[in-house]
Structure formats: C-alpha cells, structure tokens
Amino acid sequence: MYEKTLTQLAVALKKGEFSSRELTTHYLQRIEKADSKLNSFISVTAEQALAQADAADSTRAAGKAGALTGIPLALKDIFCTRDVKTSCGSKMLDNFIAPYNATVVEKLNAAGTVSVGKTNMDEFAMGSSNENSFYGPVKNPWDLSAVPGGSSGGSAAAVAAGLVPAAMGTDTGGSIRQPAAFCGITGLKPTYGRVSRYGIIAYASSLDQAGPMARSAEDCAHLLGVIAGHDGRDSTSVARGVPDYVEGLNAPLSGLKIGLPKEYFGDGLDPAVEKAVREAVSVYESLGATVREVSLPHTHYAIPAYYVIAPAEASSNLSRYDGVRFGHRCENPSDLIDLYTRSRAEGFGEEVKRRILIGTHTLSEGFFDAYYTKAQKVRRLIRQDFLDAFQDVDVLMGPASPTPAFDLGAKKDPVSMYLQDIYTIAVNLAGIPGISVPAGFVGKRPVGLQILGTHFAEAQLLNVAHQFQQATDWHLQRPAFAEENA
C-alpha cells in the first residue's frame, strides 16, 4: 500500500480494495517499525486515527464519501489540533494540548482524512535542517547521515519514507520547498492568503503559509483543493473562489513561456544541482515550452531583508510565551521578572533566542527606521521584480536549494545555514506561490526543481509540475529505507 500515491490510494479505497481502517493500520505499523530511525514524528495518535478511519468507512458505506475520505496523512506539529499535543518542536510548548483545531485541520477532517500524528520540525519553524527541534533532529530517509531540510523536515521525511502518503507543512522562507527537494518529494507553497493561517502557531505572520507535501503534483492538487479558501477568522485570508486544481492538470504545455532567473544560476550553486535543473528544463522544451533568461535584480537583498522582517515578527509573536498563561513555566520563581526570564530562557532553544534578540533589536527605538523600514522597502522591490518578470513569462524555474541535502551537523555557522534558503526566501517576501518537484540526484541525494508563478497561479504551477511528472519518473523513486522497512 505504501508504494501508492495519495491519488492511487483514493481510487483503491473507492473500489473497495481495502478499508480505511486497513490502510491506516498499515501506515501506523510502518511508523512503529521505522520511525525510531528517522525521528520524523513527535506524536502518533493511533487511537484517534483508527476512530477517524472507522468513521470514514461508515461514511463510504453510506455512499457519502468524498475524494479523500479515509486517506491517512500527518500534520506538522505547528497546526493546533484539538486534544492533541501541539508543541511546535519546542520545550516551551511540550505540555500544550490544543483546545481547538486550526482551519486546515478542520477542513481536512471535514474531507474525511485521517490524521495519524504530528511531525517533527525546527523549533517554532526556525531552521533549514530540522536540527533545531527540542525532540532531536530528523534524518533523511535517502541517507541517514543527511538532514531532511527544514523546518518541515519531519513531514518531508515521513512522506519520502512511505510512513504516510502525504503531510501538511508550513513555509515561511522555504520550509516546504527546501525539505521537499532534499527528500525527493513534491511540496507546494501557495500564494500568501490562499490558505487560512488560523490555528497555525505563528512565526512571521506576513510570511507564513501552509501547504501540502506529497509524492506528486496530482496529490498536492487534491489536497490544496481541500485546504484552500477564505476564512473569516484570518484577516489575511483572501476572499477568492477556489478552482478545481485537479481539472487542469492535463492541459498541454505548448506555448508555455519559462523564465530562468540569471541570479539563480550564479556563484554558490552546486554544478551537479545546476546540471540536474537544466536537464529538467530541457524536458519542458521537449514538451513545447520556450525558455529565456530573465533577471530578478534585487534577489541578493532577499536574505538580509528576510532576516530583519521575520525575526522582528517573531519577536512580537513569541512575546506571548511568558510562563504565565500557557506553555513552559519555571519552578519556584522569586518574582514576576524571574518568572518571565527563566521560563523563556529554559523554554526556548538557541536559534529561537537568536532570532528573538535580532527582532527585538531591529524594532527598538533608533533602529526601527534604519533596519525594519528599509527591509520593507526592499521587500516591495523584490515583489516588483517578480511582477515585472511575469509580464514576459508564465513561470520561473530554478533550483530549490543551492546544494543537495547536507550532512547532519555540517552547518555550524548560522549564516551558512541561512544561505541554504537563497532561492526560496524571496518567494515568501513577494507572497507568490512556488512548488518543488523531484528532478534528479547528486549521488544518492535528491535534487528539487523549483517552479514559481504569479499570485494565485497555483493551478498553472500544478499543471506545469504534473506534465513534467508525466514525462519523468523522479517523483516515483523510493529510498532504500522505504523498502528495508516494508
């Protein structure tokens, strides 16, 4: 069963080849057998999952099943899930049981999907390797000595290893696309506002966006159709109709205009990654697309702008964790200041503390205009670069990451870690959608092709990605780990 894509499992359930309980049990057994080696899950909710599976089987028996009824999946541990620990990968929330469901969780429940657990992640979504988790690092199933990427590394590793057919992630600066690339799966970051952020524990509110991670673009199309849409509880959610993302997947690519940003193919890009990406682009040319070079001139400002804006928003969002209302509380505080100080010092990890301090500094008097205001002006220029490019081309293509997955413990300098997101961060600053699809290997480590579109062009991105996957089989490749733990 684990070898099937989400789409294939949905068809098999509809045909009655197996029940949702049988399918869910299959994945729970795989998690129990293999995840001790990967550490991709923080919580496994077996009892709840089997209850949801039984409900899905009853719905199907009554003739009321939807397309995804009975499909098991996992949730990044950043989505509030009623009566389930929602830790955000942090000691600060290790004891937090969410009292309500995030909108994404509500919509998945309404669609009849089955949640088997919560996946590991970089603490408060701050990281590019999944080494910043309170629960320990996640390992890449393609090579257990490598990172799976971050911050949605647990979701990516679980899908790649066949522990679930799909998972939900969030992307603030590349945290869906980069781990998808490192783990050889498909990951979609929708347009900002396309998916509700209600109930997603905030890192940087103007950048965070939830999206699906699965084997194929077709799988992601099914999932996006469920989770997308306006939500009155999220003021940044856009009131815009949700198209049928599956319907347009098979549209031909003849006449498609592809832009290759010259800034994405310069210094710092691994030559083997560049070779795989250019070979993937040549596949599109064989499918009738035309290719031209374009420029995104402010790209080199994206990382410094991001690491002013995101920490500033994090400083504000994480101020609520003070040891008073919920979350970690230090023992025997001597006074209120001691309570605040020790609770936060004990509850937050090093990377989270670093970003809180950076953000607090940039928001302080005397530095706000010098840093934060300028970063927002740069953000506007970056957004305009993309809008200008999309006047001449339909989509942009390039690498998702400058290198394949690196070794665990290899990036000890925070700046070298931040540079891993050089090709993904600008997309969040501009609010446009992006998808990473498997496009080859460097040795035994996967390479991801990143495809970008203009605002609300998810249907086109999914079509472009799907047609590539019809012409190649990179997305069907499985790590030996998946077979060894069958």
Q: Hey, what are 297's tokens?
A: 């001139």
Label residues 211-245 b or e (16+ Cβ within 10 Å = b).
bbbbbbbbbbbbbbbbbbbebeebeebbeeebeeb
Active site residue 175: yes
Label residues 73-86 b or e (16+ Cβ within 10 Å = b).
bbbbbbbbbbebbb
* For helices 217-227 and 103-110, angle between their N-to-C axes, nearest 10 degrees: 110
**Gap between the Cα atoms of 382 and 292, Å rounded:** 20
Active site residue 411: no
76, 107, 118, 189: the catalytic one is 76
**CA-to-CA dists, residue 179 to 187, 315, 355, angstroms:** 8, 25, 21
Of 351, 436, 449, 310, residue with least CA distance to 129: 351
Q: Is 370 exposed, middle or buried (0-12, 13-18, 19+ CB in 10 A)?
A: exposed
Q: Which residue do the tokens 């490192």 mark?
A: 182
> Strand order of the sheet with strand 209-214?
41-44, 114-119, 72-76, 166-171, 209-214, 186-189, 434-442, 445-452, 395-399, 257-261, 290-294
Active site residue 76: yes
**Gap between the Cα atoms of 71 and 75, Å rounded:** 13
Of 152, 163, 161, residue with least CA distance to 187: 152
Q: Does the bond joining 151 to the residue before it have cis omega, within 30 degrees of 0?
A: yes
Q: Is 473 exposed, middle or buried (0-12, 13-18, 19+ CB in 10 A)?
A: exposed
> Which neighbouring-strand residues pair with 214?
166, 186
> Which neighbouring-strand residues pair with 261?
294
* For helices 20-38 and 153-160, angle between their N-to-C axes, nearest 10 degrees: 120
**Gap between the Cα atoms of 207 and 326, Å rounded:** 25
20, 115, 128, 175: the catalytic one is 175
Q: Hey, what are 196's tokens?
A: 């509700």
Start-to-end CA distance of the chain, whole Å, equals 10
What is the bridge-based pairing of β-strands 434-442 and 445-452? antiparallel
Active-site annotation, residues: 76, 151, 175
